Structure 1
Amino acid sequence: MLVTAAAGTGIGFATAQRCIEEGATVAVSDRHERRLAEAAEKLGAFPVPCDVTDEAQVQRLFDTVAEQLGGIDVLVNNAGLGGTASIVDMTDEQWSAVLDVTLTGTFRCSRAALRHMMPRGRGVIVNNASVIGWRAQEGQAHYAAAKAGVMALTRVSAVEAAKAGVRVNAVAPSLAMHPHLAKVTTEELLAELARREAFGRPAEPWEIANVIVFLASDYSTYMTGEVVSVSSQHP
């Protein structure tokens, strides 16, 4: 099993941890090598540095993991990049950076995984989308477009992979709290977003990870092309 962007304390790390607790052999990747090494040591996982915007690094990632683990049965596409800017102020560079990591990075890793899984006749991909792919949020045009693209990519990938016995689904969290989010988001916005949740609080990363584990497992063998909202957000 491979989880991208698993360094740190967010959804990727929590997913790797939950999968290891369920007995999976897990490889983790991230572009931050020091944090990746620290996370892998805590998890007992196999680390491979990778920047998902670099196709050569993505190829090396999948070749290395397949060789070390004897194959890749599950891929969790967790790599993503956010930011806040109004459309009128957003630069081409800001737009492209978010799309390249969040959408095109998911495409690159999915392509590599499918090339590995489809000839073997089995495998699961779980993509990390976002409710922002459905719901408008000011200042999030690039991120919303990227996550909506991840949802569409999930559905098309699922249709193309089904004949080979490979499943592709996605989760769409609303608000999952972790230290990195707190650093890049104002306290006022976080409080406002939390108020929109029926439970009045953000999700913990492990609560998102539990749904990812379900989609990766044999408990969801008849699900493919689905985008599962992991949210208590009310209209």
Structure 2
Amino acid sequence: MTKKTLAWIFTGLTILVAIISNLTGNPPFLDPVMGILGLAAIILWCMIWIPARQKRRQVMLDEYGYTKKPNVVQVTYVESVTDQSTGGMGYSYTWGLSELPKVGDFVLAPVEGEEPKLAMIVGFDKAPEGIELKSVLRKITDEEMIAAAAERAAEEEAWLDHARLAVGLPVGDVGPFPEGYPVVPPATGDADPTAADAYGRGWWRIYKHAEENELPASEIEAFKTAANRWFAIRDRA
């Protein structure tokens, strides 16, 4: 029999004795019986609740980094939910949402005189004295995160398609060049040493991206060859 079952039994017996005592005019001999049963129920419930509370605190500490829900979060503004940079300036906001905040969560934060900005939680803070902070508006949903990741993947694939096309690799329909991505340099032709160096560095960046993301070996080699070709032109000068 579990502690919880025993706790419910003793709780039920305590209530039952209290009802009998009330119906029979509160005879004195029932008072110690009710007290013993009630004390046993209390002890058992404490034996259940205290470890459970300690376990919950440990889980919160391991997963969130705190044991008590913070009321102030520190954020840095980002351009998109695929931006994991934490190098920006930190801003503090109060946290009044029902969800527990976690470092790395993306939120929508109000900005004085501007549209709300996308921000990422980078830590927790204490409420400053004498300063009234604005509150986080909402947390970015999982659905929004998934949609943003899919859009980012599509943009990256379009960028790589332009690189594949430049080095003569087979591609399907090539979409518009995505905004914010590095320019794909020419893969052939001639240039002065300065331009050749820039072209080589551009292709080397593409090559390293392909290598880090484990793209097909044929693509990795083609991008690396384009980079080395420009470096060879640069070094001949």
Q: TM-score range by the shorter chain?
A: under 0.3
Asked which structure has the greater CA Rg, the reply is 2
TM-score by length of 1: 0.22
TM-score by length of 2: 0.22
Q: Which has the higher relative contact order, 1 or 2, with Cα contacts under 8 A spaced 6 or more apart?
A: 1
